[in-house]
Amino acid sequence: MSTHSITLKVNGEEHTREVEARLLLVHLIREELELTGTHIGCDTTSCGACTILLNGRPVKSCTMFAVQASGAEIASVEGLATNGNLHPIQEGFTEKHGLQCGYCTPGMMMTTVALLKDNPNPNEEDIRWGVAD
């Protein structure tokens, strides 16, 4: 059972932690860094509630070990708003009631941010494909 010193940037802030090899990235984010906006829904790489951006690409943080993210730049939902202003995606979700219980919403928003970065004018099919298909 190895432990590792890792350094990674989360929402622009650098963190160094001593972690057990098996610590999942989502647990590092939630428990160690106390960024609890990233949620755990399925535990098994299905639902996407735990989606974060890893070097700009949306991935499921439940299916990666924290040690693998050493040196990476991570963006979580907490990093969307800047200077107290909601990110346009957050504004959009609010305005259009784009949530019910809101549990998976952080994952949906992170995925959406990445989708729009790749494709600023998606049609419905692009959105369906980009979010879940």
Partner 1 sequence: MIPASFDYTCPKTVAEAVSLLGQNPEAKILAGGHSLIPMMRFRMATPAMLVDINQLEGLSYIKEEGDWLEIGAMTRESELDRSELVRKSYSLLADTTRVIADPLVRNLATVGGNIAHADPANDHPATMLAYGAEVTATGPDGERSIPIGDFFLDAFTTSLSHDEILTAIRIPRAVEKSGGAYFKLERKVGDYATVAVAAQLVLNGDGKIASAGIGLTNVGLTPIKATAAEEALTGKVLDDASIKEAARLASEVAEPIEDQRGSEEYKRHLVRTFTSRALRKAQERAEGGGV
Partner 2 sequence: MLYLDIVRSPYAHAKIKNINIEEALATPGVVSVVTGKDLDAHGLASMPTLMSDKQMVLPIDKVKYQAQEVAAVVATSRYAAADGVEAVEVDYEPLPVVVDPFKALEDGATKVRDDKDSNLIWHWETGDKDATDKVFDEADIVVEQSMYIPRIHVVSIETCGCVASFEPIEGKLTLYMTTQAPHAIRTVLALVAGHVGLSEEKIRVIAPDIGGGFGGKVPIYPGYIIAVAVSFLTGKPVKWIEDRSENLQADSFARDYHIKAALSAKKDGTLTAIKIKTVADHGYTDAAANPSKFPAGLFHICTGSYDFKQAHVEVDGVYTNKPPGGIAYRCSFRVTEAVHCLERMTDIMAHELDIDPAELRMKNFIRPEQFPYSSVLGWEYDSGDYEKALRKAMEMIEYDKLREEQKEKRARGELMGIGISSFTEVVGAGPSKDYDILGLKMFDSAEIRVHPTGKVMARFGTKSQGQGHETTYAQIIAEELGIPPEHIQIEEGDTDTAPYGLGTYASRSTPVAGAAGALAARKIHDKAKKIAAHLLEASEEDLEWEQGKFFVKGSPDRSKTIQEIAFAAYTNHPQGRSGHLLRPTQLDLSFRLLHLCRRHRPGHGRSQDPPFRRRGRLRCSHQPDDRRGADPWRSHDGDGARASRRDLL
* Cα(30)–Cα(27) distance, integer angstroms: 5
Cβ of residue 87: shortest distance to partner 1, in angstroms?
19
Phi/psi at 15 (nearest 5 deg)?
A: -130, 140
Asked if 2 touches partner 1 (CB under 8 A), the answer is yes
- DSSP assigned state of 28: I
Site string for partner 1, 38-77 (x = CB under 8 A): -----xxxx-x--x--x--xxxx--xxx-xx---------
Please identify, among the stretches 18-26, 53-61, 76-84, 113-121, the one whose residues bind partner 2 according to the rule CB under 8 A: 18-26
SS (H, E, C) 13-55: EEEEEEEECCCEHHHHHHHHCCCCCCCCCCCCCCCCCCEEEEC
> Of these partners, partner 2, partner 1, none, which one is at the site of residue 49 (CB under 5 to 8 Å by kind)?
partner 2
With beta carbons less than 8 A apart as the criterion, state whether 87 and 75 touch.
no
> Which 9-28 positions form the footprint of partner 1 (CB under 8 A)?
20-22, 24
87: left (phi over 0), alpha (psi -120 to 50) or beta: beta
> Of these partners, partner 1, partner 2, none, which one is at the site of residue 5 (CB under 5 to 8 Å by kind)?
none
Binding region for partner 1 (CB under 8 A): 1-2, 4, 20-22, 24, 43-46, 48, 51, 54, 57-60, 63-65, 67-68, 111, 129-133
